[in-house]
Structure 1
Amino acid sequence: MSEFLSYITGLVPVAATLEIWGRLALIAALGFVLGFAMNRGSICTVIATKELVSERRPARFIALVECAAWAALVYAILETEPIMEAGWSSLVYLVPAAIFLGIGTYINGSCVFGSVGHIGNGEIEFVFTFLGIYAVLYTETAFDLLSDQPVASTPPSLGATLLSLALLAIVATRFSVSRRSETNFRRLTLAMGTVGVTSTALAILAPGFSITASFGPIASVSVVGAAISVCMFGGSFVSARLGKHGFRLKWPTVKAMVKRTLAGTLMGLGALLIPGGNDTLLLIGLPAGAWQAALAYVLFVATVAVLVGKLGSIAKAWS
């Protein structure tokens, strides 16, 4: 969207402004829908892992895989390659980074998906999670602590037909294991499809977009970054207002602010070294068929699962 900034400084012909504004409006709308769906579906890796480990209910975890399948299908249909702004780190960094990401996510009580939902619900303390994440990402950018890695892109490993069949199989599996214990099958299906499609569309329209670093571009006065972030959290807020759980503004305690900031710092460190948070692993790495993404995601979930199994978790779905 550098054309937009050029326009407002008078460097782009007036004839091009309609397309620029239209693209920005589309990006803003997609950001809103993404935030709305994340809140409405109670999408969170911690919740999904807790239900899997403590309650033997795998449906919500299967739904996360379903979300990745939706993203892969969109890439395949559009014949577009999932793009990583920086290539995957070596195992020396990748393995501990995934563990840091898992520890931070457990301490936070919610992954980046769920944190967006909690903020929409009025739980302001989760803003400090993102502040911790962005402090790490901004520090690295400001001081260039890591060597530059080349952009990585990989075409989807499966065609649209095979991915469609795989998606149907995943949905059928989730239905078979959830029909007795889950009452939100339809809502979760719509939410996962919406998140997969909108996040992929945003990644194509605004290369480099990720939920983890959605605030990052704001520091460099990016109109696109600001539009996505504001509309994403706005969508989560509207979803909460319309949902059964409602919107209840809850001001954070000092203890909560410190806890979320610490958790966000660990999550940011993990996302920096992988590179990418659980959203990047699910919605870009897995659709690209990257073994690094699969390994990092397995280690990330395994870390959360071990902590949930040993220490328990109070995380729970809000819809």
Structure 2
Amino acid sequence: MALIAALGFILGFAMNRGSICTVIATKELVSDKRPARFIALVECAAWAALGYVILDSPPMIQEGWSTLGYLVPAAILLGIGSYVNGACVFGSVGHIGNGEVEFAFTFLGIYAVLFIESCFDLLSGQPPISASTSLGAVFLAFALVAMMALRLSLSRRLKSHFRRLTMAMGSVGITSTILAVLAPGFAIVASVGSVASIPVTGAVISVCMFGGSFVSARLRKDGFKFKRPAMKTIVKRTFAGIFMGAGALLIPGGNDTLLLVGLPAEAWQAVLAYLLFVATLAALILAMGSEAKPWS
């Protein structure tokens, strides 16, 4: 349990330190024509895949992927919720560490959806599934080097940001893999079954993860600034969380599960859902803009 707590702390610390957020990465890609942060997200999935290969443990989700009739609208719903929220689940953890407590209501909305479903059993459960990655450690290592070289070539003027983002993405990918092996079923946004199956472990990881994000922000100059949320903002975050929770429930899994479990497992459902999620974000950002921006 001490190791799990330490890994949860590292996970939260890395998410805050690297300003890891799919909404920010998508905005920089489509609005600012800067693909470096988005490439780093792909690196994160590659790090996770490499971890599964080294540990010789296949990626596993607690419930099977939904059919296309659920998967497609769920991914779009997840994208809409993340856009309204101004951050994906990774970014929400980082914002809370920065003192923006209104993002706690995002998680309140998410878990409200999961709790209601668990009470009424609205969706029939599916058995857990796992799939080993067909890519070897050597191939994944070369792919990581190639992606980092590409990102470095696009970040010549921001080498300090390159180093920080590289360390953050590697930390998130590796620690999430080890946590998935030690506590099967854990995810930041998880299906109801996985939340219910590991209540104590999940709570320990969550508390330490938010603690790591908070410590990371405190160590940065002007990183932590407590912001008292207005009622309008609270309502907005809560409704955004409900949208994100509904999407994660139907997929099942949020963008963390898609990126760190589904893509390493080479599940076509995860690839499709993540692409639809990003495409929804991109369309909304192009149509209405976005104020999302990295904080470090």
| TM-score, structure 1 as length reference | 0.90
Instruction: Give 3-state SS (helix, strand or coil) of 1:180's partner.
Output: helix
* Structure 2 Cα separation of the partners of residues 109 and 26 of structure 1: 32
1:31 aligned residue: 8
Cα pair 1:31 1:231 within 8 Å, conserved: yes
Letter in 1 for 2:121: D
| Contact in 1 for aligned 2:185/2:194 (Cα 8 Å) | no
- Whole-Å separation in 2 of the counterparts to 1:158 and 1:201: 18
Cα deviation, residue 223, structure 1: 2.0
Match of 1:160 among 137, 144, 149: 137
Query: Does the aligned pair in 1 maintain the 2:78–2:243 contact within 8 Å?
Result: yes
Aligned residue in 2 for 1:96: 73
Counterpart selection for 2:253 from 251, 261, 276: 276
- What code does the residue aligned with 1:171 have? M
Bigger radius of gyration among the two: 1
Contact 1:35 1:233 (8 Å CA) reproduced: yes
Structure 1 position 41, deviation (Å): 0.3
CA 1:217–1:164: 2 relative to 1, 3 Å: closer
Deviation at 1:218, TM superposition (A): 7.5
CA distance in structure 1 between the partners assigned to 2:197 and 2:142 by the alignment: 42
Further displaced range: 169-178 or 292-301:
169-178
* CA distance in structure 2 between the partners assigned to 1:217 and 1:277 by the alignment: 13
Instruction: Give the unaligned 5+ runs of structure 1.
Output: 1-23
Write out per-residue CA displacement over residues 219-239 of structure 1, whole angstroms, 9 at most, x where no aligned residue.
788321111011000000000
| Preserved CA contact (<8 Å) 1:217 1:225 | no
Q: CA separation in 2, counterparts of 1:221 and 1:296?
A: 25
SS in 1 for 2:277: helix
What percent of counterpart residues are identical?
72
**Alignment partners' CA distance in 2, 1:89 and 1:257:** 31
* 1:138 has 2:115 as partner: yes
Contact 1:215 1:226 in 2 (8 A): no
Correspondence 1:168-207 to 2 at 5 A: 168-180=145-157, 183-207=160-184
* Aligned AA (1:33): I
CA contact (8 A) 2:191 2:248 kept: no
Is this contact kept in 1: 2:62–2:191, CA < 8 A? no
For 2:191 and 2:161, locate their aligned partners in 1 and report how far apart those are by CA, in whole Å. 28
- Pick the aligned partner of 2:104 from 92, 111, 127: 127
Code of the residue aligned with 2:29 in structure 1: it is L
Q: What TM-score, normalized by structure 2, do the two folds share?
A: 0.97
Give, as a single letter, the amino acid of the residue that structure 2 aligns with 1:65. Answer: V
Alpha-carbon deviation of 1:180? 3.4
Alignment equivalent of 1:247, drawn from 204, 224, 233: 224
1:258 maps to what in 2?
235
What is the aligned residue count? Answer: 296
Q: Distance in 2 between matches of 1:274 and 1:218?
A: 15
3-state DSSP class of the match of 1:184?
helix
The 2-side partners of 1:292 and 1:252 are apart by 37
Against the structure 1 CA distance between its residues 246 and 215, is the aligned structure 2 distance closer, same or farther, given a 3 Å change threshold? Answer: farther
Distance in 2, matches of 1:221 and 1:184, equals 36
- 1:54-89 deviation line (CA, Å, top 9, x unaligned): 110000000000000000000011111000100000
- Alpha-carbon offset, residue 149 of structure 1: 0.7
Q: CA–CA distance in 2 between the matches of 1:136 and 1:63?
A: 30
Write the distance in 1 (CA, Å) between the matches of 2:193 and 2:154: 39
Tell me which of 259, 264, 267 is aligned to 1:287.
Answer: 264
The CA deviation string for residues 162-189 of structure 1, in whole angstroms up to 9 with x for no partner, is: 1111111111111111213564000000
What is the distance in 2 between the residues matched to 1:281 and 1:49? 16
Which of 42, 57, 74 aligns to 2:51? It is 74
Give the distance between the partners of 1:44 and 1:216, measured in 2 at CA. Answer: 26
Name the CA distance, whole Å, in 1 between partners of 2:134 and 2:221.
40
Structure 1 moving runs of 4+ over 4 Å: 214-221
Separation in structure 1 between the aligned mates of residue 114 and residue 250 of structure 2, nearest angstrom? 10
Q: Quick one: distance in 1 between partners of 2:192 and 2:227?
A: 22
Q: What residue is the counterpart of 2:89 in the other structure?
A: 112
Root-mean-square deviation (CA, aligned residues, Å) is 1.6
The amino acid across from 1:36 in the alignment is F
Q: Which residue of 2 aligns with 1:211?
A: 188
Q: 1:194-238: per-residue Cα shift (whole Å, max 9, x none)?
A: 000001111110000001149997878832111101100000000
Residue matched to 2:35: 58
Amino acid at match of 1:81: P
Amino acid at match of 1:106: Y
